[in-house]
Amino acid sequence: MLRLIAATALVTAAGVGWLIYRQEKLMATAAEQINTLSAKVDDIAADFRAFRDAMTAERENLTESGQAALDAANAKLDAFDTEVGDADGSDTTPVNPTV
């Protein structure tokens, strides 16, 4: 009977160990995916800023098609910002409570 209890405890410990290992792997995978997504968003933002800065620097010299491209890029950015929402609270002015 004691051997059965010891064997059951060993199997249970191994099972719990495996579950913890699996959970850690899943969490690592999720963290990697979040990091990859974050890097892609940073890249897109940098690309857009470079485009916007180049267009803004040439604003006085833009042709109609250049101005249309700048307007379209700004509209896409606005649409993306709306889609993402205000997850970090940066789009809203904090309300100061009256004391």
Residue 42 lies in a domain: yes
Structural domain for 69, as ranges: 2-79
Mean pLDDT of 2-25: 63
Residue 15 lies in a domain: yes
Residue 39 lies in a domain: yes
- Is 80 exceeded by the pLDDT of residue 3? no
Residue 88 lies in a domain: no
Which pTM does this prediction carry?
0.46
Domain count along the chain: 1
Residue 44 lies in a domain: yes
Residue 91 lies in a domain: no
Instruction: Tell me the three-class secondary structure of the chain, residue by residue.
Output: CHHHHHHHHHHHHHHHHHHHHHHHHHHHHHHHHHHHHHHHHHHHHHHHHHHHHHHHHCHHHCCHHHHHHHHHHHHHHHHHHHHHCCCCCCCCCCCCCCC
Residue 94 lies in a domain: no
* 60-89 pLDDT, tens digit each: 788 888 888 888 888 888 888 787 776 666
Residue 75 lies in a domain: yes
